Structure 1
């Protein structure tokens, strides 16, 4: 959801005041007289005779200035002096909050490009049907948070571990207004197809928490599974607020993950939090598990993206990502595709947070 001009204008004024006062005071105290002869009054009394003519121009001015301040703060934090050590944590908190606000303002500035992109024709229909669906689960009660868990058809025990773990515990507390759903494709054709599908049928009857889509559940179709989760949220649970996606073989500290999600939502309307990878390169080795040909993906590096083991985001972000996935040429590496390529197309910032971590369970 994009900010109205009134909300953005108010946010800009508040943030400018907050930023100038806090960073001004901090830098003056840190400089400890070395460069501190310039008073806070002179710091805030720069020539403002050239005023921006629109909210977008004002935002652009602010972004340029704030990026300059961010660079200065980062440089200051790297100093090893005693004074820096005493207050570096506070500066880091300010820096992180400014960075998040910058992402929100930039998202506002790019609204025209986003709307233009979303008007492009659909090239990936993703019109698979559901073998099992729970289309009414979010209409029966108020749902705030949805746990979505990608799972393979044969992972019966892993799904049960999730139900009994911290995610299941969180769902069982009615006050949390949370649901848990597993997303599967159909078993691959073969001798054990019927036995696997029979086990899934039994799980559906017992737990009612499985969404099964009508595509073959193989590793190369993980992108379709990711899209199926985004599509389902957008279609059947669009009134919820948040999504936590975590694999069926990972442990997470659910309360900390939820807290990180709510903290980010105080500042940003759209974001994804996870484990970020920067300047990662596609493997061109045909024997590698993650091989990606130059024909499928020509660039030498991936955009920044998040590992798919644990991702948290608002429902509004799920909707944008799904719309992007309808219009962006696919690659089979789903975490790169969804959180890197698609997120970039709709200007969704990807973030890291010390509370959003996961560990793979030992088999």
Structure 2
């Protein structure tokens, strides 16, 4: 099937013309982009890296689970939803509503992928693997799923998008956290983006926060030490609850990371 539990480079028996198969395997099938093959086999997912087992770049986590790469034609909108292993109810709600199948011939195509880290409990990991085999829409990195590792989760989703779904012109990152009451009107977003100039350039779209001061309270999970960022206010940025990146903007972010 198109879903897999990713193993190490020794589990690969395909090549550039491979697709994801059973647990821990990549075998012959439709062509996989070289950068995607590199990412699935433990590399960085850089577009110029097509060597299975290539040394990962710093900060690139190993994959535990990956959905199949995007088959041509690529979706117009790739929806990437950071999630936590325990958020099964939220993922089910997203699949049943705004992250599920929608649209018609007049609506640009979309695809939804959930992005997770690793749970602390082995039993919970087995539950995640069962869910992944059923829905085939889960991307999981080999790092602890904690608030402090959100940067790793974001880098992982950006690298996977570039390497394994690089033809998608737009990426929508949206939380699944019920506390944020997130609901995305995907057809409206896609219709708006379809009216953008082609190519759209470096588009970064969302609810903009202005002149936000860093949290200096060491007891807060939002704590930003002055040694990490010393200015009195952050530059303007879009809320992490949901934002859109064009392919060019996502590439620029990865190059700067």
Partner of residue 225, structure 2: 293
Distance, in Å, in 1 between the alignment partners of 2:255 and 2:98 is 31
CA distance in 2, matches of 1:320, 1:142: 20
Structure 2 CA distance, aligned partners of 1:227 and 1:267?
24
Partner of 1:158: 90
1:247 corresponds to 2:182: no
Question: Residue 223 of structure 1: SS of its match in structure 2?
Answer: helix
Match of 1:187 among 119, 130, 136: 119
Q: TM-score, normalised by structure 1?
A: 0.51
Shift of 1:254: 1.6
Decide whether the 8 Å contact of 1:170 with 1:176 is kept in 2: no
Give the greater-gyration-radius structure (CA).
Answer: 1
How far 1:261 moved relative to its partner? 2.4
**Do the aligned partners of residues 202 and 172 (structure 1) sit closer, same or farther apart at CA in structure 2, a change above 3 Å counting?**
farther
Q: In structure 2, what is the Cα distance between the partners aligned to 1:266 and 1:172?
A: 22
Structure 1 residues 260, 140: CA separation in 2 closer, same or farther (over 3 Å shift)?
Answer: closer
SS in 1 for 2:195: helix
Give 1:263 deviation, angstroms: 3.3
**1:22-61 to 2 correspondence within 5 Å?**
none
Q: Distance in 1 between matches of 2:220 and 2:197?
A: 38
* CA distance in 2 between partners of 1:267 and 1:236 (Å): 20
Question: SS of the residue aligned with 1:308?
Answer: strand
Distance (Å, rounded) in 1 between the aligned partners of 2:240 and 2:105 = 26
CA deviation digits over 1:139-164, x for unaligned, max 9? Answer: 35432221100001110110010000
Stretch of structure 1 that moved more, 152-161 or 193-202: 193-202
Superposed CA RMSD in Å reads 2.1
Q: Which runs of 5+ in 1 are unaligned?
A: 1-123, 326-363
Count of aligned pairs between the two proteins: 197
Distance 1:125 1:265, change over 3 A: farther
Which residue is equivalent to 1:79?
none
Q: So what's the TM-score if we normalise by structure 2?
A: 0.71
- 1:196 to 1:265, Cα distance in 2 relative to 1, 3 A: farther
Change beyond 3 A, Cα 1:156–1:174: farther
Could you give the per-residue CA deviations for residues 5-64 of structure 1, whole angstroms, max 9, x where no partner exists?
Answer: xxxxxxxxxxxxxxxxxxxxxxxxxxxxxxxxxxxxxxxxxxxxxxxxxxxxxxxxxxxx
2:142 alignment counterpart: 214
Higher helix share: 1
Structure 2, gaps ≥5 residues long: 1-56
The aligned residue for residue 164 of structure 2 is 236
Greater share of strand: 2
SS of residue paired to 1:283: coil
Counterpart in the other structure of 2:63: 130
Equivalent pair of 1:245/1:310 in contact (CA under 8 Å): yes
How much does 1:266 deviate? 5.2
SS in 2 for 1:166: coil
Counterpart secondary structure, 1:276:
strand
Is the Cα contact below 8 Å between 1:261 and 1:312 reproduced in 2?
no
Match of residue 24 from structure 2: none
Please give the alpha-carbon distance, in whole angstroms, between the structure 2 residues aligned to 1:144 and 1:275. 22
Change in Cα spacing, 1:266 to 1:142, as seen in structure 2 (3 Å) is: closer
What SS is found at the alignment partner of 2:81? strand
